[in-house]
Amino acid sequence: MSKTEITIYKIGGGIIDDAAELSKFLQLLAGTSGLKLLVHGGGKGASTMMRELGLVPQLINGRRVTDAATLDIVVMFYAGKTNKQVVAALQQLGVNALGLSGADGNVLQGTKRPVKDIDYGFVGDLTSASVNAAFLQQLLKAGITPVLCPIIHDGSGHLLNTNADTIASAVAVALAGEFDVTLHYCFEKNGVLRDINNEQSVIAEINSDSYAVLKQQGVIADGMLPKLENAFAALNSGVRKVIIGHALNIGSDLHTVLCLK
């Protein structure tokens, strides 16, 4: 018997910070068929509020250092404002959405990142083993669309700020046993570009062979490299397809499809 298909969409800060674009994306999402799950990232709102409160946001290598005061704010923003606004908007569009932090239903239990050179504070690491796949399956089978925010818990009463890309791939891998999983990363470009300055130069498909060539040619470099490494790691762990494209192109064919072979 073939597995039921599910698409896991991940949206980042750029689209969350743009109310009009977020609204368009959610309409497109509501129009897609089949089971779905949404993971959303943070956005700039938390940093803006921190500054208004006299706190100084700290980033190291693009990652937020999360002390106790920062954690309070990001939990409020990500699990509170953003998550509930997205859920209410989806409900209006007829999608029975349910917002979740990792603590809710123990859906994502990870560990606080160990301090090595840098102390990132209340930041969580997780793997696909951290995902309560049985509970997500129950929700999906009940017709619910889970909406995950980038806050997890450690099982000892602490909330942890976590990267949304990592959550999306961990959830995709965890659900791959039961479902035929497509992991759809939405970002601000149309896909993986052959020429970074040309939005029309989207590479339609990359498989493991052509990926090796593109890396060698230097077409894939910089910020795109870790994204694709993570994508191929997910594919090697049972995810059928990874899509990278613009949030407002979901449902269309303008994007890059990554697959094995």
Residue 102 counted as an annotated binding residue = no
- Give the Cα separation of 101 and 132 in Å (integer): 12
- Look up residue 101 and give its two tokens: 């932090």
Q: 4, 18, 24, 49: which one contacts its own copies (CB under 8 A)?
A: 49
Q: Does 239 bind its own copies (CB under 8 A)?
A: no
Burial of 142 (0-12, 13-18, 19+ CB in 10 A): exposed
Q: Does 144 bind its own copies (CB under 8 A)?
A: yes
Q: Does 78 bind its own copies (CB under 8 A)?
A: yes
Phi, psi of 184 (to 5 degrees): -115, 105
Residue 51 counted as an annotated binding residue = no
The least CB distance from residue 236 to its own copies, in Å, is 31
Q: Does 158 bind its own copies (CB under 8 A)?
A: yes
Beta bridge partners of 123: 161
Cα dihedral 57, 61, 62, 64 sign: negative
Q: Does 80 bind its own copies (CB under 8 A)?
A: yes
Cα dihedral 225, 231, 232, 237 sign: positive
Residue 63 counted as an annotated binding residue = no
| Site map 102..141 versus its own copies, x via CB under 8 A | -xxxx--x-------------------------x--x---
- Look up residue 140 and give its two tokens: 């999906």
Question: Which residues are at the interface with its own copies (CB under 8 A)?
Answer: 49, 52-53, 72, 75-81, 83-85, 87-89, 91-92, 96-101, 103-106, 109, 135, 138, 142, 144, 151, 153, 155-159
Give binding residues as ranges.
42-43, 64, 161
